[in-house]
Amino acid sequence: MLRRRTAIIVVAALFTAALLLSLFTHSTGVVRNDPARNIWIPPELTMPVELQVAYNDAQIFFHYRWPARQPHVFTDLLRYSQGKWQRQLSTPIGSDPDGIYEDRLAMMVDDGSVPEFQRYGGYITVGANMRDFTGSGPDAAHRRKYLPATRRDPNEWYSIVDQATLESQRRAGYFLDLWHWRAHLSNPLGRSDDQHVAWYRLYDSGEPLFFSNWDVDKGQPRWMFDLESSGVRALRWEDVAGGRRDESQPYYLLAATAVPFDATHEWGEGDVIPGQVLREPSGSRDEIRVHGEGRWADGYWDVTLVRALDTGHPLEDKVLRDQGVYSIALSVHRDARASRWHYVSLPLQLGLGRQAELMATRFSGPTPDWSRVDTREVTLFYPGQVSWKHLSSARHAGSKYIAKGVPVKYRHKETQLAQYGVEMEFDREIRRQWALSLIAGVLLVASFVFSVSLLFRHRED
Amino acid sequence: MGPYHAIMVHFPVALWTVASGIIFFRAFSDGSLARAFDRVLVPLLLIGVATGVVSYTLGLLVWSPDTLQATPLGRNHMIAASWSLCTWAAILFLRWRVGEMVWEGRVNRLIMVGFGALGASQLAATGTLGGHLHGAPAYLSELMRVFGWDVYHTFYSPTWVLLVLAVAIVAMPVLAIVTTRGRAARSQRQEASK
């Protein structure tokens, strides 16, 4: 039989051990990847992007530099396997296991015509049940970004306002300019794709930078590499799997040099041809260019984009002016991830010669001297599955601040938002575990105090 | 209810802070001042727990339960507040039920000090999280991060730890009951043999 004093020590030790165990193991055991529910959590929840901005009388230059362990320059590959050509149609959940998804950098720009964007950034474009959200269903592939006022009910994707209203909104500047640099589909052309977000994520007018190489009827590619100029008819799967790139071989198919697909050729297992053919764009789609070369080296992408301050397409591109202040928000896809598995920034105010969070440097001449331009490190974060519907609902404690127009930065940091984004994806599981932990803690204290009260009151012989 | 909650929490915070000071003082001193302080401990804790219950209830009315439990900060504030209230109620129970025997011997005193420190820590965490929720974060959260708790992560235990806790919850009173009954039975046998 234990002595009273020993029993007290054992009980106290049990209690202390239980407390320490709870402390050292807390917040674990729930968050795990679950592809069946479209859940995949990146190992790093935040990442930096270095940003420099300079402008002259006619053009504005954005220089971006961001870390990436390796470049991913392939996307949408057609692969000959088991005697037929196959196309991967589904978006990878998280990092593509074969490393086949291109790196991307996007930037949304506004001139103040979308006031919520200045305060909440890209969150306002994320409606309810967006594609690749948990439980969004197989019919959600088309549910992409849109602006709240383009819907009668901002939380209902299908309640689009009438065409006349959409056109009036566009004339009033109610859209976000979207610069979209892509390592495969735009960089080889020395371009960035040019899009905008209004009732949908739309492409600017003009000829696109790429078109599909997939012949649906025949189930085979339309075009292939020219053996004479490229040295190959097709790439080999083992050369590209994992995102690798053989520098001696082409990694994109160019309309100007591609040749019609030869179905009579004896194709071998693992032959690979790009699923998109690049071409020279035109019109508003051709306004953003890569200055110099967008390239990856030593673990970093360095990309400089340049565009006219006024492209002459005011219904698709935001017109930028000296002494203007604009809002921008960045996003990066890396590590062969697509769709919502990206990193995003909070909105950042950009001043062209005016005081702002980041002041663009004015220069004269054709190109800026980047050594004289301020560098701003912007923290990007994994946003999880947080929709504008949730943020503006009573369920979000900050919705009353949103109603008052309080900017997101006033209440939240990027690291915090990243963590909140992850917890939102496991909301039900974490709440259950949290409630059980709360009860267990109460019972533990009650059990301990009951035990020591018995032992304290009991005197030794 | 936010402003009323903010007003009301001053009472348990002040009373429990004083109580923790008294516990530490009494644990290390048998002087007349320490004994005098100890005599007011039970009423102090009683008022603290009573105002704590009112504060806790008001806190539950600031946001709807669904809103409060939808964010890590809300959940953490609620779990810290629940545990604070529970710990201080437990200290009240212990001091009231056991009386001055809680100060008998080094082990008893050490347990009281540990309990007081636990209650004070939980109180500090609850206040810090409340400040965060109302948009006034304190650097104390950085200190909490050093001790292993990032306040932006919901505090919860994995299932296997909950099972271990369940074992501890059952084992502690069983051990206490077996020890006290065994001793009592032996005493009775010894009495009878005399």
Q: Say if A13 is an interface residue toward chain B (CB within 8 Å).
A: no
**A/B interface, count of CB pairs below 8 Å:** 207
Residue A213 has pLDDT above 80, yes or no: yes
In a shared domain, residues B143 and B103: yes
> Chain A 243-302, CB below 8 Å of chain B: which residues?
none
Question: Do the Cβ atoms of B67 and A397 come within 8 Å?
Answer: yes
Q: For residue A129, tell me if it sits in a domain.
A: yes
Q: Give the range of the structural domain holding residue B57, as residue numbers without chain letter.
A: 2-156
Alpha carbon distance B165, A55 (integer Å): 62
Report the number of secondary-structure helices (H) and strands (E) in chain A. 10, 25
Chain A contact set for B71 (CB, 8 A): 396-397, 420
> Chain B 121-180, CB below 8 Å of chain A: which residues?
133, 135, 147-150, 152-162, 164-166, 168-173, 175-180
Strand A201-203 relative to strand A210-212, pairing: unpaired
Question: Do the Cβ atoms of B179 and A446 come within 8 Å?
Answer: no
Counting Cα atoms < 13 Å in the Cβ hemisphere of A88 gives: 19
Chain A contact set for B175 (CB, 8 A): 2, 7, 10-11, 14, 451
pLDDT band at A385; cut points 50, 70, 90:
very high
pLDDT for position A459: 60
Burial of A331 (0-12, 13-18, 19+ CB in 10 A): buried
Alpha carbon distance A199, A166 (integer Å): 8
In a shared domain, residues B73 and B45: yes
Tokens of A180: 């979209």
Q: How many domains does chain B fold into?
A: 2
* pLDDT per position as a tens digit, A154-181: 988 899 999 999 999 999 999 999 999 9
pLDDT for position B194: 65
A1, A433, A436 ranked by CB distance to B182: nearest: A1
Q: Say if B117 is an interface residue toward chain A (CB within 8 Å).
A: no
In a shared domain, residues B10 and B74: yes
Q: Say if B67 is an interface residue toward chain A (CB within 8 Å).
A: yes
* pLDDT per position as a tens digit, B96-124: 998 888 898 888 899 999 999 999 999 99
Share of chain A above pLDDT 70, in %: 98
* pLDDT per position as a tens digit, A442-461: 999 999 999 999 988 766 54
Q: What is the CATH number of the domain that holds A378?
A: 2.60.40
> Chain B 12-51, CB below 8 Å of chain A: which residues?
none
Q: How many domains does chain A fold into?
A: 2
Q: For residue A275, tell me if it sits in a domain.
A: no
Nearest Cα residue in chain A from B156 = A434
Question: Burial code of A260-292, b = ≥16 C-beta within 10 A, e = fewer?
Answer: ebeeeeebeebbbbbbbbbbebebbbbbbbbbe
Burial of B106 (0-12, 13-18, 19+ CB in 10 A): exposed
In a shared domain, residues A145 and A180: yes
Q: Say if A32 is an interface residue toward chain B (CB within 8 Å).
A: no
The interface pTM score, or ipTM, of the predicted complex is: 0.93
Q: Give the range of the structural domain holding residue A113, as residue numbers without chain letter.
A: 44-68+103-209+281-396
Interaxial angle between packed helices A4-25 and B159-193, expressed in degrees from 0 to 180 and rounded to the nearest 10: 180
Question: Do the Cβ atoms of B175 and A10 come within 8 Å?
Answer: yes
**Mean pLDDT, range B7-24, rounded to an integer:** 93
* pLDDT per position as a tens digit, B35-91: 999 999 999 999 999 999 999 999 999 888 888 888 899 999 999 999 999 999 999
Q: Say if A5 is an interface residue toward chain B (CB within 8 Å).
A: yes
In a shared domain, residues A390 and A452: no
